[in-house]
Amino acid sequence: MLRRNAKPPEPPMDTLAATAIRHPLDPLTEAEIAAVQRLVTGHAGFRDTMRFTLLELVEPAKAAVLAFRPGQGITRSARVVLLDTQSGAILEVLLDLTGGRVEAWRQVETEGQPPIILDDFMKLDRIVKADPRWVAAVKRRGITDADLPLVQVDPFSAGNFGFPEEKGQRLVRAVSYWRESPRDNGYAHPIEGVVAVVDLVHERILTLVDDPVAIPIPRTKRNYDPDSLPPPRTDVKPLSIVQPEGPSFTVDGWDVSWQNWRFRVGFTPREGLVLHRLSFVDQGVARPIIHRASIAEMVVPYADPTTNHFWKNAFDAGEYGLGKLVNALQLGCDCLGTIHYFNVPAADDHGAPFVMENAICMHEEDYGTLWKHYEFRNDVREVRRSRRLVISFFATVGNYDYGFYWYLYQDGTIQLEAKLTGIIQTAAVMPGEPYPWGGMIGEGLGGPTHQHFFCARLHMSLDGEGNTVSEHEFVPRPWGKDNPYGNVFDTTSRVLARERDAAREADGRTGRYWKISNPNKKNVVGAAPAYKLAVTASPLLLAQEGSAIRTRAAFATKHLWVTAADPAERFPAGDFPNQHPGGEGIAAWIEANRPIENADIVLWHNFGHTHVCKPEDMPIMPVEYAGFMLKPSGFLSANPAMDLPRDTEASTSASCCTPAPNSCCE
């Protein structure tokens, strides 16, 4: 996916302003990325052994974005994180692209590491297979010399367990899989009990773990290439989705308008898709809701304590980069209908620019009934169909594939849905024995139980500046004079005034929910306009207090956090979670206990899925879903979708057909 050693275009520095940069939040262009590469590689401190682990736009502060008007001059800045692959040194470089200069060049002091990069993938296979200890270990499990070239070696983020020999090293843990051919699905054939802890800087196996009991490699094939699949079904008839007049959205660069929605599309190497300045037009006025929305972190902890699995706790955003692993989406497969694709400029490990084609897909979908009523007294029957706008991307992180879908609805609802698919991690099991740490997939093959957590970062701007979060739940009222029939229940409400107040868990029994409101405004009934965070049933991190993963992924111990907005606080597990011992991120920030009432706030919502593996998960698991909704709650004066057309000629998929007497088309 990433291109190496590409020759960048070389426009003069003074032409960068003319490269279609129309807004301060526009993603970096290819020309800007090329300029960054020239500035960095031309600096006296640069070495040929350095790699670009991150290259991103430095987004302007919220106040600067709000003050910007079209036609004004735009100042552009970028940030690069360099890794010296020879010394292990980490450097941060800040660049003034408008002035064409390096603003800062400094070494980073951190207990963590930059993310795993493509160069690490490339060198790992060579390092591991050159070590005679590893060769002997896999041969003891039935691997032959002829098998060795086809053995799949996966680089897995190492975590941090306080092992003294690992301190200060840049590491990955390597697990391996037998393959009979290059297209064989290696995850069906795990080599159990052999883990190489690889020092990437000194290019050696630091530690080799070789369990004394050699579990046989499962050999049953579980492939999914076209030649391995069964004959396709013949009873699936064509289903056409057409918009003969084109889509209802308009796109101007990175700016999007659809129905009453207005927003800007952004993209970063770490988060992937970002939505900026999400607003809803109400009576001709664009009212802001969210200043910036993204998935800021992920973590996938495993519940198997054995050699191959206890350390598996992948932070897919911070340790790999969701935006760097984005798929090129395919029409008719990933996206269906009338599609608009966004191509995203990016940088490879050497800082050279390239374009990630079809990185973001945007289209409209029919979504069933939006509102309906039949009144038998006067024979008035009305129904309108719902349509939603979909903005999505997919990232493949090793064995798993994750789709992130933002949905905007005509009634003002916002939804984020994560789609989990791909191939599960697997474990070889002694023939005839059960697998105690998860589900059996087949004879000799198990799937470790694990959890997936996603943390959404929502920098709010609901109806303008000064937002408050309140918590609400439903409680039964005791029997009494004010509840003589026992049917009354109340809704409690309390303001989350400071950061420590706002580390909260959902409670389905009481229907606990949270509202984001603007106390400086009044709605049609004299209350503060608000949106409600509607959470779905979602687990929390189940690892024990004091465990390494609980310390490193503290954000996954609560469903909700609210912090005072700070541009330096972008990632809930900290800036460098790779190999970090933990203690940074949200749990550390809230120790300041800053006021968050009527303030510029960031809402962090943690949601996810606990996965007990089963035979149906192989060879590729059907999609599992996780996510949340934000729904208007006193933000609007009435149902904003009452003006949807009924006439089929005006809107085929957003209305009902003209009915025959006493019938209705839904």
Query: In angstroms, rounded to a whole number, what is the distance separating the alpha carbons of residues 555 and 318?
Result: 13
Selecting among 177, 187, 400, 405, the annotated active-site residue is 400
Confidence of residue 392 (pLDDT cuts 50, 70, 90): very high
More confident residue, 584 or 5: 584
Q: Is the pLDDT of residue 16 over 70?
A: no
Selecting among 120, 154, 316, 617, the annotated active-site residue is 316
List CB contacts of 136: < 8 A, sequence separation 6 or more: none
Q: What is the mean pLDDT of the chain?
A: 93
pLDDT of amino acid 379: 87
Distances from the Cα of 348 to the Cα of 22, 51, 395, 636, angstroms: 25, 9, 16, 45
Q: In 105-160, where does DSSP find H-type helix?
A: 118-129, 132-139
Where, residue-wise, is CATH 3.10.450.40 in the chain? 13-107, 118-228
The CATH number of domain 13-107, selected from 3.40.640.10, 3.10.129.10, 3.10.450.40, 3.40.50.300: 3.10.450.40
Q: Is 177 among the catalytic positions? A: no
Cβ 423 vs Cβ 187: under 8 Å:
yes
Q: Is 400 among the catalytic positions? A: yes
pLDDT of amino acid 137: 98
Q: Is the pLDDT of residue 666 over 70?
A: no
Query: In angstroms, rounded to a whole number, what is the distance separating the alpha carbons of residues 470 and 414?
Result: 19
Of the candidates 542, 453, 590, 585, the one whose C-alpha atom is nearest the C-alpha of residue 112 is 585
- Angle between helices 118-129 and 132-139 in degrees, nearest 10: 70
CATH class, domain 250-632, is mainly beta
Q: Tell me: the pLDDT tens digits for 493-535?
A: 999 999 999 999 999 999 999 999 999 999 999 999 999 999 9
State the pTM of this model: 0.93
Rounded to whole angstroms, the maximal C-alpha distance in the chain is 86
Query: In angstroms, rounded to a whole number, what is the distance separating the alpha carbons of residues 271 and 146?
Result: 41
Mean pLDDT calculated for residue range 95-111:
97
Distances from the Cα of 27 to the Cα of 272, 367, 665, angstroms: 11, 31, 44
- Side-chain-side CA neighbours of 26 within 13 Å: the count stands at 21
pLDDT of amino acid 260: 97
**Could you give phi then psi for residue 33, rounded to 5 degrees?**
-65, -40
Q: Tell me: the pLDDT tens digits for 451-460?
A: 999 999 999 9
Confidence of residue 647 (pLDDT cuts 50, 70, 90): low
Q: Tell me: the pLDDT tens digits for 548-602?
A: 999 999 999 999 999 999 999 999 999 999 999 999 999 999 999 999 999 999 9
DSSP line for 343-362: EEEEE-TTS-EEEEEEEEEE
Residue 127's CB is within 10 A of a number of other CB atoms, namely: 21
Query: Can you say whether the dihedral through the CA atoms of 169, 170, 175, 177 is positive or negative?
Result: negative
Residues paired with 459 in a beta bridge? 292, 602
Where, residue-wise, is CATH 2.70.98.20 in the chain? 250-632
Environment class of 537 (CB within 10 Å of its CB; exposed 0-12, middle 13-18, buried 19+): exposed
CATH class, domain 118-228, is alpha beta
List CB contacts of 158: < 8 A, sequence separation 6 or more: 166, 171, 172, 173, 197, 311, 578, 579
Cβ 630 vs Cβ 478: under 8 Å:
no
Query: In angstroms, rounded to a whole number, what is the distance separating the alpha carbons of residues 406 and 507?
Result: 25
Strands in 121-203 per DSSP E:
152-157, 171-177, 194-199
**Could you give phi then psi for residue 248, rounded to 5 degrees?**
-90, -10
CA 255 to chain CA mean position, Å: 21
Query: Can you say whether the dihedral through the CA atoms of 645, 649, 651, 653 is positive or negative?
Result: positive
Of the candidates 388, 443, 442, the one whose C-alpha atom is nearest the C-alpha of residue 412 is 388
Cβ 161 vs Cβ 301: under 8 Å:
no
Answer whether the bond into residue 619 is a cis peptide, omega within 30°.
yes
Cβ 174 vs Cβ 308: under 8 Å:
no
Q: Tell me: the pLDDT tens digits for 290-336?
A: 999 999 999 999 999 999 999 999 999 999 999 999 999 887 778 88
Query: In angstroms, rounded to a whole number, what is the distance separating the alpha carbons of residues 78 and 336?
Result: 35
Distances from the Cα of 652 to the Cα of 135, 362, 388, 534, angstroms: 63, 19, 14, 30
Distances from the Cα of 427 to the Cα of 224, 308, 388, 439, angstroms: 19, 8, 41, 10
Residues paired with 489 in a beta bridge? 476
3-state secondary structure 363-412: EEEEEEEEEEEEECCCCEEEEEEEEEEEEEEEEEECCEEEEEEEEEECCC
What whole-number percentage of the chain has pLDDT above 90? Answer: 89
Q: Is the pLDDT of residue 253 over 60?
A: yes
Residue 595 DSSP class = B
